[in-house]
């Protein structure tokens, strides 16, 4: 019996070992911590990175003297999301490093090459990125600092991810010193789309609204008389440009982005429940995303002073969020509350075009109920219909969204401009998040960029 017990243990062990090697190992070793991958580069010519339509975003050129150069035909346009591979690895170059350095060419060819001491050709990786949308967003942000993220709502595919200011990955080695010098205050190498942390401004009112609806089933009875500012104790909140919105219901105060109304809502909310809602929306937690990002933070608690609670209600205060995260939140609203995990890799194929692995969309889970999502959609459509997002109401299709103007310093003239929204046509809709640093209001600076992206998407339909 002892023998059988131990033989059983050994069999299980061997079984697990086989399972590990056959099934688990590709995912395990495709990890930035696995520096073994670099030794592959001695044997494999790094494969290409392609856009979803097959356009080459990164390729390896073999020079006449046999050395290799990694080249990026679009120069700066995909700099952050595609990344670079010669000064450490970032973006997709890091994410797909293992695939790019693995050759699934015909085995006979590989063995012959190994014996001849010639390099095998690595696999090519097709991404979810759309060249037209990326170009549109990139050009629209020209001359400014900021980020644009475009997601496909039903799948979580990342169609565009732009961060500016940018750099030329073809010149990463020459420019390395300058890019990393202490005098460079722009943090050019930083991917603002996923790593940037900004006060969400009025885009956060989406979440305040959600929490208000959750706590008050009679939310439609809400009414507020806006006098252009709201004072609680010795703290005063002003509406943008000190506009007096007058008598308004919940929808109007959302559409007009009335700070007074939402500050008063912020004061009324249960901090514990508000925290739970934000937790559910992935604040203070890891995002289901595989290239470097910053966690968003939300810090309200029972002991928070009223002034801070008012500010939190309108997206000021301590709350910080990345453009990617904001795009994920609105995409879940567009997708009936269901969040799809955002992803960048579409499939891997050998250099001869044989499909090796296809990445399928994966469901993260519900961030809210279907009903809540449809109410938020209705309110966000009103923003475009009659509110701060009016510049989007003549595109010829339904758009829902929310603008934001986030103050981040005492200099009120310099605010971060936000827009987060989605097309609502029912077919292959996209979620768009735009952030422009230090320019002014969302409706003035962010909405026009979103408009260009929506138009470019519409033109391709």
Partner 1 sequence: MTNLIIELSKYAFIILIALYTFLSFSVLKKRDQEEIDHGWRMQNFLTFLIHLLAYAVIYLKTGQLKFLVFYLLQFVLLQAVLVLTRVIYPMINQLVLNNMCFLLAVGFIILTRLNYDKAVRQFQMAAISLIFAMVIPVLVRKCLFLQNIPWIYGGAGLVILAAVAVFGDTTSGAKLSLNIGPVALQPSEFIKISFVFFVAARLAKSTVFKEVVLTTILAALHVIVLVLSKDLGGALLFFVTYLVMLYVATRKKIYFLAGMGAGCLAAYVAYFLFSHVRVRVLAWSNPFSVIDNEGYQITQSLFAIGTGRWFGMGLCQGSPNKIPVVDQDFAFSAIAEELGGIFAICLILICMSCFIMFVNIAMQIKNNFYKYTALGLGTMYGFQVFLTIGGAVKFIPSTGVTLPLISYGGSSLVSTIAMFAIIQGMYLLKEDEELKIEKERRAKKAKLAKARSKKIKTEKEKPE
Where does this chain bind partner 1 (CB under 8 A)? 1-3, 6-7, 9-10, 12-14, 16-18, 20-21, 24-26, 28-29, 31, 33-37, 39, 111, 114-115, 117
Look-up of token digits 């009875």: 221
Separation of alpha carbons 85 and 87, rounded Å: 6
Phi, psi of 131 (to 5 degrees): -60, -45
Give 6 or 246: the residue with its C-beta nearer to partner 1. 6
Bridge-partner residues for 44, per DSSP?
A: 120
User: CB of 29: closest distance to partner 1 in angstroms?
Assistant: 4
Cβ distance 431 to 342 under 8 Å? no
User: CB of 13: closest distance to partner 1 in angstroms?
Assistant: 6
User: CB of 23: closest distance to partner 1 in angstroms?
Assistant: 11
User: CB of 180: closest distance to partner 1 in angstroms?
Assistant: 23
Can you read off the two tokens belonging to residue 163? 């961060």
Give 173 or 285: the residue with its C-beta nearer to partner 1. 285
246 to each of 27, 212, 318, how far by Cα in Å? Answer: 57, 21, 29
Contacts with 165 (C-beta within 8 Å, 6 or more apart), sequence order: 145, 186, 188
Q: Is the dihedral of CA 199, 201, 203, 206 positive or negative?
A: positive
Any alpha helices (H) in 141-258, and if so which ranges? Answer: 172-180, 192-195, 205-215, 250-255
Contacts with 11 (C-beta within 8 Å, 6 or more apart), sequence order: none
Give 319 or 350: the residue with its C-beta nearer to partner 1. 350
Give 47 or 313: the residue with its C-beta nearer to partner 1. 47
User: CB of 329: closest distance to partner 1 in angstroms?
Assistant: 25
Give 3 or 183: the residue with its C-beta nearer to partner 1. 3
User: CB of 50: closest distance to partner 1 in angstroms?
Assistant: 25
Give 20 or 106: the residue with its C-beta nearer to partner 1. 20
């Amino acid at each position: 019996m002892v023998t059988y017990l131990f033989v059983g243990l050994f069999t299980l062990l061997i079984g697990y070992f086989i399972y590990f090697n056959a099934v688990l190992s590709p995912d395990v070793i495709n990890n930035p911590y696995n520096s073994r991958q670099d030794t592959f580069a001695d044997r494999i010519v790094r494969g290409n990175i392609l856009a979803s339509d097959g356009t080459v975003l990164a390729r390896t050129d073999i020079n006449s003297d046999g050395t290799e150069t990694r080249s990026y035909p679009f120069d700066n346009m995909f700099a952050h999301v595609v990344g670079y591979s010669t000064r450490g690895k970032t973006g997709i170059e890091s994410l797909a490093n293992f695939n790019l350095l693995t050759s699934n060419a015909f085995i006979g060819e590989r063995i012959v090459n190994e014996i001849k001491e010639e390099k095998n050709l690595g696999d090519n990786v097709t991404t979810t990125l759309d060249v037209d949308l990326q170009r549109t967003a990139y050009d629209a942000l020209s001359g400014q600092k900021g980020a644009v993220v475009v997601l496909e709502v039903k799948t979580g595919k990342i169609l565009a991810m732009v961060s500016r200011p940018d750099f030329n990955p073809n010149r990463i080695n020459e420019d390395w010193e300058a890019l990393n010098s202490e005098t460079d205050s722009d943090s050019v190498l930083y991917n603002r789309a996923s790593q940037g942390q900004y006060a969400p401004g009025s885009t956060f009112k989406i979440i305040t609204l959600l929490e208000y609806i959750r706590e008050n089933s009679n939310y439609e009875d809400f009414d507020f008389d806006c006098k252009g500012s709201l004072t609680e104790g010795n703290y005063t909140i002003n509406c943008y440009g000190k506009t007096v919105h007058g008598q308004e219901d919940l929808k109007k105060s959302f559409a007009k982005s009335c700070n007074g109304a939402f500050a008063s809502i912020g004061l009324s909310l249960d901090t514990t429940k508000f925290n739970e809602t934000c937790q559910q929306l992935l604040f203070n937690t890891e995002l289901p995303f595989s290239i470097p990002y910053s966690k968003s933070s939300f810090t309200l608690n029972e002991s928070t002073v009223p002034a801070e609670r008012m500010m939190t209600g309108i997206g000021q205060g301590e709350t910080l969020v990345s453009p990617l995260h904001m795009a994920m939140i609105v995409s879940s609203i567009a997708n009936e509350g269901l969040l799809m995990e955002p992803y960048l890799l579409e499939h891997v194929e050998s250099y001869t075009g044989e499909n090796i692995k296809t990445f399928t969309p994966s469901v993260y889970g519900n961030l809210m109920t279907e009903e809540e999502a449809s109410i938020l959609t209705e309110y966000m459509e009103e923003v475009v219909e009659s509110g701060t997002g009016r510049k989007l109401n003549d595109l010829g299709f339904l758009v829902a969204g929310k603008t934001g103007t986030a103050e981040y310093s005492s200099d009120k003239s310099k605010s971060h401009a936000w827009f987060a929204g989605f097309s609502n046509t029912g077919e292959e809709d996209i979620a768009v998040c735009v952030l422009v640093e230090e320019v002014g209001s969302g409706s003035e600076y962010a909405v026009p960029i979103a408009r260009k992206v929506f138009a470019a998407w519409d033109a391709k339909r």
